Amino acid sequence: MTQLSRRSLLLGSAAVASAALLPATAGSAAASTTSTALHLLRPTGPYPVGATSRYLRDTSRPDPWVPTMTARELMITIWYPTHDRRGDSWQYMTAEESRLFLEGKRYTELPPDILSTVRTFAYAEAKPMGRPGSLPLVILSPGYTQPRNSLSALAEDLASHGYVVVAVDHTYETYAVTFPDGRVAGCDTCAYDDDRTFFARLYEVRAADVSFVLDQLLGSRPVWSGGHLIDPRRIGMSGHSAGGASAIPAMLADRRIRAGIDMDGSSSGYTPPTALAGPFMLLGTESFHSPGGPDASWALDWQSMTGWKRWITVAGTEHASFNDLALFGEQLGIDFGATTTGTRSTQITRRLNRAMFDRHLRHRPEPLLDRADPRYPEVVVADAGN
């Protein structure tokens, strides 16, 4: 199995996930991939799920990574509850996006279009359901070099429980962002992401991206026709790796975000300018992110939190266990080092995210966040506050 460098983990880089998904033994498993049907897990909530995408253009700032671009361009996917159970399934990736992503990750043993064949459970362009101002919103930010769809299993599940979920592609930070006019933006930041100040800047760029997305969803003329269904008082943010580390600066910069989750993302190099008062959950691997473990950044983050907070670890997981790569690795027969299966880690990730947002956006009791639960023996509440 490919060894994961401590530096990559400390930086919260999605290179960790990519290294873990393609071990040295992948070639033997790759022979069977042409007959493997990749799929997400079926959502667990009572509602069917719809999905749509939107192109956003922030003219108030040049692109922070490519200054010759006079505006910051973003693509988002929106998942939401619907009454519809008909229509085409939402496409996980295009064949070209799949090819560029796999090339960027050096997944040479896999068919280049394999991620375009992933079965999803969302209906494309279905009509959203709900009363005006009734639906809580969760923003998702993926790991560095990971696309927005890499959190689709989580997004679909939250939407099936009545959330609007929006995942953001942070342009020039991943290998393929496709715009409506056919342009494809690549990973320009990959040329200099080893600079020691890079990730601290990236977290703040992502915080600005998230605030702009909220402006576009909640404004007087929302970019999505279902924008009026969102309750602007009930907004949360979750992210994996660099996306999770970005949740703290996003909450500090934008008070509309009421609760946050960092899924296994190191914030090394970033120092919060003020205390974080909003509810926050650190959710990570037992091996690397337990209290006193190798990543000292979480202890610093923990100290900066003055509100409700939880530090939770999941036994048997690796960095990729908190996004869709865990599922695909299991389905392809590729061992990326976790002893908890991709199916199980996805179930746990979904349940803990929903517990966090149900508790703080819907004010529902969630004992799973407070003490051991025999249904989830892998989950350890390592520390708690308030």
pLDDT in tens, 84-121: 998 999 999 999 999 999 999 998 889 999 999 999 99
Question: What's the pLDDT at 10?
Answer: 36
| Nearest residue to 307 via CA among 260, 361, 364 | 260
Q: How far apart are CA 161 and CA 339, in angstroms?
A: 29
pLDDT in 10s for each residue of the chain, 386 residues: 233 333 343 333 333 333 334 433 344 444 445 557 999 999 999 999 999 999 999 999 999 999 999 999 999 999 999 999 989 999 999 999 999 999 999 988 899 999 999 999 999 999 999 999 999 999 999 999 999 999 999 999 999 999 999 999 999 999 999 999 999 999 999 999 988 899 999 999 999 999 999 999 999 999 999 999 999 999 999 999 999 999 999 999 999 999 999 999 999 989 899 999 999 999 999 999 999 999 999 999 999 999 999 999 999 999 999 999 999 999 999 888 999 999 999 999 999 999 999 999 999 999 999 999 999 999 999 989 87
Q: How far apart are CA 22 and CA 33, in angstroms?
A: 13
Question: What's the pLDDT at 229?
Answer: 98
- Report the CATH number at residue 241: 3.40.50.1820
- Residues belonging to the chain: 386
Question: What's the pLDDT at 6?
Answer: 31
1 lies in some domain: no
DSSP H stretches of helix in the chain: 6-10, 15-21, 26-30, 95-105, 152-160, 198-218, 242-245, 247-253, 286-289, 297-303, 325-332, 342-361
Q: How many CB atoms lie within 10 A of CB 57?
A: 12
314 lies in some domain: yes
Whether the CB-CB separation of 247 and 260 falls below 8 Å is answered with yes
Whether the CB-CB separation of 5 and 12 falls below 8 Å is answered with no
Report helix, strand or coil for 124: strand
146 lies in some domain: yes
Q: What is the pTM of this model?
A: 0.92
Count of domains forming the chain: 1
Question: What's the pLDDT at 386?
Answer: 76
Residue 121 one-letter amino acid: F
pLDDT digits (tens, 9 = 90+) for 37-53: 999 999 999 999 999 99
Residue 7 one-letter amino acid: R
110 lies in some domain: yes
Is the C-alpha dihedral spanning 283, 261, 320, 365 positive or negative? positive
| Nearest residue to 312 via CA among 288, 281, 342, 353 | 281
Question: What's the pLDDT at 256?
Answer: 98
379 lies in some domain: yes
Structure tokens at 103: 């090339």
Q: How far apart are CA 320 and CA 314, in angstroms?
A: 12
Longest dimension (CA), the chain: 55
Q: How far apart are CA 386 and CA 370, in angstroms?
A: 11
Structure tokens at 191: 């040329």
- Percentage of residues in the chain with pLDDT exceeding 90? 86
Question: Which domain covers residue 42, as residue numbers?
Answer: 6-385
* Percentage helix, strand, coil for the chain under 3-state DSSP, each rounded to 5: 35, 20, 45
